[in-house]
Amino acid sequence: MSSHRQPNVFPDYANQGYYPASNLYQSNYPVYQYPQQNYPRILGFDFGSGYLWQGLLIGAGLTLVLSNENVQKFILKAVAQSWTGVVSGIEEIKEKFEDVKQEINLKKEEKESV
């Protein structure tokens, strides 16, 4: 029995540690790494995180805006007007549908009478 081995058509780059396109953007210059800063963690919050401050600012802004009665009235009025527009649009579509339905029925009646 001869052991005939098929040639490897697709080389196994992963196991050889060679990736053909991996070194296209490599530089010979050293990359500066910023020192790690340890911010205090109080009650599980990382006060050095930008996400914490971003969330706090957005939450404070929303609270300020939504607690204002004038803003609440404006938002409710805008929602009511939008809803009215949607409902009237639906009614308009229903009317157009009924018109098309009547036209189809008239054409059927004309064909039957001929």
Question: pTM for the complete prediction?
Answer: 0.40
pLDDT for 72: 87
Q: Residue 2: pLDDT band by 50, 70, 90 thresholds?
A: low
Interatomic CA distance for residues 90 and 82, integer angstroms: 12
Going from N- to C-terminal start, the domains of the chain cover 35-67, 69-114
pLDDT for 59: 93
Interatomic CA distance for residues 52 and 112, integer angstroms: 74
What digits encode the pLDDT tens for the residues 49-59?
778 788 889 99
pLDDT for 81: 93
Indicate the SS3 state at residue 73: helix
pLDDT for 77: 93
Indicate the SS3 state at residue 7: coil
Q: Which two tokens stand for residue 59?
A: 């939450």
pLDDT for 41: 72
